[in-house]
Amino acid sequence: MSETPHHHGYIHAKDDYLKRLRRIEGQARGLQRMVEEEQYCIDILTQVSAMTKALQSVALGLLDEHMNHCVVDAARAGGHEADAKLKEASDAIARLVRS
């Protein structure tokens, strides 16, 4: 954790994100059942691809909100803080692109 977990208040569509993450949790449970029952491998892989896409979409949405709030605020404040926030956002983007 790079900050203490106080409320950052930047997530506008919080309920929407929670709903999508609960669905992703359900997909993870579904995958366990499929592996448990040794269902057909290609069907399992199709589920993994769908789950990966759902996760990516959550990540891109959160990154969007982050840039619209934290990064914009930091850019306006300027100085070292702005540079640090931009570097942090760039690193997060690079991790997403490479994962």
Measured between alpha carbons, how far is 6 from 9 in angstroms, rounded to an integer?
9
Would you count residue 8 as binding a copy of itself (CB under 8 A)?
Answer: yes
Other CB atoms within 10 Å distance of the CB of residue 73? 13
Measured between alpha carbons, how far is 98 from 4 in angstroms, rounded to an integer?
27
Closest CB to a copy of itself among residues 36, 80: 36
Would you count residue 80 as binding a copy of itself (CB under 8 A)?
Answer: no
Looking at residues 18 to 77 of the shown chain, list those that interact with a copy of itself (rule: CB under 8 A): 18, 21-22, 24-25, 28-29, 31-32, 35-46, 48-49, 51-53, 55-56, 58-60, 62-68, 70-72, 75-76
Neighbouring C-alpha atoms within 13 Å toward the C-beta of 81: 9
Would you count residue 84 as binding a copy of itself (CB under 8 A)?
Answer: no
